[in-house]
Amino acid sequence: MKNWSSATILLLCLFACRKESLPLPLLRELDIPAHYDLTAVWFADSLHGVATGGSPWTAGELLSTTDGGQSWRLDTTVNNRLECVVFDASGQGYACGMDGLVLHRPPGLPYWYTLRADFTWNRGCHFWDQRHGVVVAGEGFEGGLTRKLGPEALWLVDTTLAFPNALSAVWYSDSLTVHAAGLGYVLRSADGGRSWTRLDARNDFFCSIHFPTPDTGYICGQSGSLLKTTDAGRHWQTLREGGSLGSKNKPFRALWFTSADKGYLVGDGGLLWRTRNGGLDWTPLAGLPASVDATDIFVLGQRGWITALGGRMFYFEE
């Protein structure tokens, strides 16, 4: 009988369990007028979408589409990089980035208003409606901030709280429950962002949060962690530890779920995964070049859009 070492057994198991990439019916790169890295994408409906991008300390830009993402135009430029864009249920648009920028676009208008501008590096924002929003910030790995905007006026800060580590993502799961994450931090607020409780999830730079339902949510981290909650963020279970061996150790950057069970992950090196059982198993999807470092993903029905460094964007269908 051969005497296998534990390391050899682990490597053989990883090789044997590796899944082949599944081709999608359609995945193609879009021709868009971006001049810098793209950082985020969001669709208000099946036709109208916005993407953000920019270069730190150089410029920022917003691109928009009115035909479901088949063609894009550069509609707004600012003085510094933009990091995030979201729309609320009524079609109000919000974007944030460096220089403390928070922008707002009412439904039907082609231009953006500046709500705030100061000294912070805003990394993420989410708005329940046009009277309640939270913005998170961080400088590198430190200097974390949460800012609750509204409700009296959206441009007024209700509460600002500081944290030692940078924060990079935030999400409302209902009108009062907000979740934020960053370097070694997963936070939960039950009062709309005025106070926060730190939860026991610390071993990654958590970079993306999504709640497809009020109770079920997911978080990914840059070293490959995956977390899941089924009780509105009170407790998080680890679906995948970050920093494991093998090709799966490519950094995660963003996730999006179309239901409590079906979701997608993107990351560096052309990483595009899909789950259909709530994150228990993931299937690699083929089509993104290995040269692509993805930054965000948005999926609406059977269609999806992926942003990436170098001003690249991809469209796919299932």
pLDDT tens by residue, 277-318 = 999 999 999 999 999 999 999 999 999 999 999 999 999 999
| Closest among 271, 278, 281, 215 to 248, alpha carbons compared | 271
Q: Alpha carbon of 168 to those of 123, 145, 164, 183, 267: distances in Å?
A: 5, 10, 13, 8, 16
pLDDT at 249: 64
pLDDT at 109: 85
pLDDT band with cut points at 50, 70 and 90 for residue 244:
low
CATH number for the region 206-318 comes to: 2.120.10.30
| Closest among 103, 43, 55, 99 to 76, alpha carbons compared | 103
Where exactly are the structural domains of the chain? 206-318
Q: Which residues are registered as beta bridge partners of 20?
A: none
**Alpha carbons 280 and 289: distance in angstroms, whole number:** 25
20: exposed, middle or buried (Cβ count in 10 Å: 0-12, 13-18, 19+): exposed
**Alpha carbons 216 and 125: distance in angstroms, whole number:** 20
**Alpha carbons 18 and 10: distance in angstroms, whole number:** 12
User: pLDDT tens across 109-166, in order?
Assistant: 888 999 999 999 999 999 999 999 999 999 989 999 999 999 988 888 999 999 999 9
| Closest among 271, 238, 231 to 255, alpha carbons compared | 271
**The pair of three-digit structure tokens given for residue 114, joined into one six-digit string:** 């500046």
| Closest among 102, 105, 193, 208 to 147, alpha carbons compared | 193
